[in-house]
Amino acid sequence: MFKILEISPDAVESEGHIATAYLKVSNEEGEKFWCYCLYWRAYFPYCPKPSKWGIGEKLIKNLVGKEITSTFSFVNLEPVEKTNTKDKYIFQNPTTQTSDATAISGKIIETERYDQKDYKKKIGPDPKKYEKLIVDCKAATVKVGVEKGKFLVGDFISCKKGMLNAYIIKVGDAVL
Structural domains of the chain, count:
1
What is the span of the domain harbouring residue 7? Answer: 2-175
Q: Quote the pLDDT of residue 94.
A: 75
Q: Does the structure show a pLDDT above 90 at 81?
A: yes
**148-172 burial code (b ≥16 CB/10 A, e <16):** beebeeeebbbbbebbbbbbbeebe
Cα–Cα dist 111/5, whole Å: 31
Per-residue pLDDT tens digits for 42-61: 999 888 888 889 988 999 99
Q: Is the pLDDT of residue 22 over 80?
A: yes
User: How far is residue 53's CA from residue 170's CA, in Å, rounded to a whole number?
Assistant: 13
Reported pTM: 0.90
- pLDDT computed for residue 97 by the predictor: 64
pLDDT in tens, 86-96: 999 999 877 77
Confidence of residue 171 (pLDDT cuts 50, 70, 90): very high
Query: Which amino acid is located at 54 in the chain?
Result: G
